[in-house]
Structure 1
Amino acid sequence: MQFETLDLTISDGVATVQLDNEPVNTISQQVRHELADVLEVLREDRIRVVVFLGAGDVFSVGADIGLFEEAQEWTTQEFRSNSRILGRVFDGLEQLEKPVIAAINGTCVGGGLELALACDVRIASPDATLGFPEHNIGLIPGLGGCSRFVQLVGPGKAKDLIFTGELFDGEQAFELGVIERIAEDPAHAAQEYAHDLLQQPPQALGLAKRVIDTAWNQDTQTASLLESLAQSTLLETQDHKEGIEAFREKRDPDFSGN
């Protein structure tokens, strides 16, 4: 599948999606539709890990101001319909039963940061620039910038950073819990991380992701039930048996995803 605003490469089970749209990797209407199309590819079983990054020195500056000017002509229903395109992409990335990594270099603000928040693990350079400047045009970050951001930093800090639109660098993002890893070369670090994950049992990674995402805001009893159900599924997999055999035979396991 060919895209005009994205570059998709698939190698050894790792799918790399690079935003490559002028200017500065903006998330235009075309990008929204192409992200929706690429999501269908990412669901394929041959892909075990996904990496998102931006072309050049920018991850993404989010929506182009021209899109908001165009949106002034939309009805409320049309706005919600168009927003759902990207919203479904972000939700779909969270629901993929495979790790999704964001490699953040340079600017990652607005909708670009919302895309990164929909990923499972974020790796950023120390001098990356992150934040939500939507208040400058009288809006809020409305596709995860409030709802996902608050889960990472808490309500007080989320309000502070969204009220002011204050930008923060990779070091600060790490301290806030917005990113999980810092690297001078996030793209290289993300590829190394992705290939390390290829050695892990795919179903265990996928179910760990779904259980964690679902259980974090549940009561302990419900969360424990989710863990137990997932574990009972994994006990019947060939990868579980392979793991035990490899341990007994003192060798590295060869996980197949079955």
Structure 2
Amino acid sequence: MESPRVIVDVQDGIATVTMNRPDKLNGLDFAMFDALVAAARQIRRDRSVRAVILQGAGRGFCAGLDFASVMTQRGRMMRSFFKWGVKKTNLYQEACWCWRELPVPVIAVVHGICYGGGMQIALAADMRIVAPDADCSIMEAKWGLVPDMSGSVTLRELIPMDLAMRLTMTGERFSGVQAQAWGLMSEVSETPLQRAEALAREIATRSPDSVAYTKALFQRSWTAGVRRAFRIESALQLRLMMGRNHREAVAANRQKRAPKFSARTVG
């Protein structure tokens, strides 16, 4: 029996999502695309989840698109470019963007190879912890393509246009240390999984509603004008102040005890 492409393990409010195709360096075939989207949906439904760790099994995070597999299904390959109904993403984009749209923080753990579509999955996470010797590339140029799995949005959020163009046009490879220096990665760690777990545990001690609204606040206001940004922060704050988890945070601080938060109310 074939192993699942993606494994979701939830422990103490932290969901560890593992791309599980180590023999192919977690290359993206249609089964992997479908499994990534399904994993994000599963986590969204589970309101006990406080944070997500996204990683790859084996020797690398993700080697990008498995052309040998995908090109054997040309009909599905073309259909997967379409956006159905009111969706803003096609299948390729949704495999990345689904992590951005979760109401919990997603921390990518990047080690070994992180190429092409794998890089775009990592960039769509809210934070990225990278091993210093990780081997990274926006590699679509090697195949005569452009990054089309949400990379046009996530790259502009993190680095200047001239650097994004250079890395995309050349497909050059760079280390985790260099990726962090440019701003593509959040932190460098010799033990990126352990660092991600520690960060997730720290986040999980806070109100799940305030964490969810913090993610929403910055996503909605980061490029908004001042007036709109102020409206967004006020609206989110008012919702939080009317919630039980805010009341619990206040009570716990006054009583000098650890808070006992309810499951998040944000879907």
TM-score for the superposition, normalised by structure 1: 0.92
Q: Secondary structure at the match of 1:59?
A: coil
Runs (4 or more) in structure 1 with deviation over 6 Å come to: none
- Which residue is 2:129 aligned to? 123
How many residues of Structure 1 are paired with residues of Structure 2 in the alignment? 256
The answer to whether the 8 Å contact 1:39/1:92 transfers is yes
Per-residue deviation, residues 37-80 of structure 1 (Å, max 9, x unmatched): 11221112122211110111200011112145336x44985251
Inter-CA distance 76–63: structure 2 relative to 1 (3 Å threshold): closer
- Note the C-alpha offset of 1:242: 1.9
Query: What whole-Å deviation, never above 9, does each CA across 1:87-119 have from its counterpart, x for those lacking one?
Result: 223222111111111011111111111111111
CA 1:3 to 1:16, structure 2 compared with 1: closer, same or farther past 3 Å? farther
C-alpha distance in structure 2 between counterparts of 1:183 and 1:76, whole Å: 37
Decide whether aligned partners of structure 1 residues 195 and 75 sit closer, same or farther in structure 2, where only a CA change above 3 A counts: closer
Superposition pairs for residues 1-258 of structure 1, below 5 Å?
4-21=4-21, 22-43=23-44, 44-67=46-69, 69-70=71-72, 73-74=74-75, 78-81=79-82, 84-257=90-263
Amino acid at match of 2:65: A
What is the aligned-residue RMSD (CA, Å)?
2.0
SS at match of 1:60: coil
- Using the size of structure 2 for normalisation, the TM-score is 0.89
Q: Which AA in structure 2 matches 1:57? A: R
Instruction: Please tell me the residue identity of whatever aligns with 2:10.
Output: I
After superposition, the Cα gap between the structure-2 partners of 1:41 and 1:255, relative to the gap in structure 1 and judged at 3 Å, is: same
Shift of residue 257 of structure 1?
3.9
Moved more, 226-235 or 17-26: 17-26
Shift of 1:151: 1.5
CA distance in 2, matches of 1:35, 1:76: 17
Question: One-letter code of the match for 1:211?
Answer: L
- Structure 1 3/233 Cα, relative in aligned 2: closer, same or farther at 3 Å? farther
Contact 2:97 2:150 in 1 (8 A): no
Q: SS where residue 227 of structure 2 aligns?
A: helix
Query: C-alpha separation between the residues in 2 aligned to 1:182 and 1:208?
Result: 24
Shift of 1:213: 0.9
Query: Is contact 2:132–2:190 with CA below 8 Å preserved after alignment?
Result: yes
Gaps of 5+ in 2: 84-88
Segment of structure 1 superposing worse, 139-148 or 151-160: 139-148
Structure 2 Cα separation of the partners of residues 96 and 23 of structure 1? 27
Amino acid in the other structure paired with 1:221: R
Q: Residue type of the partner of 2:53?
A: V
- What displacement does 1:248 show? 2.1
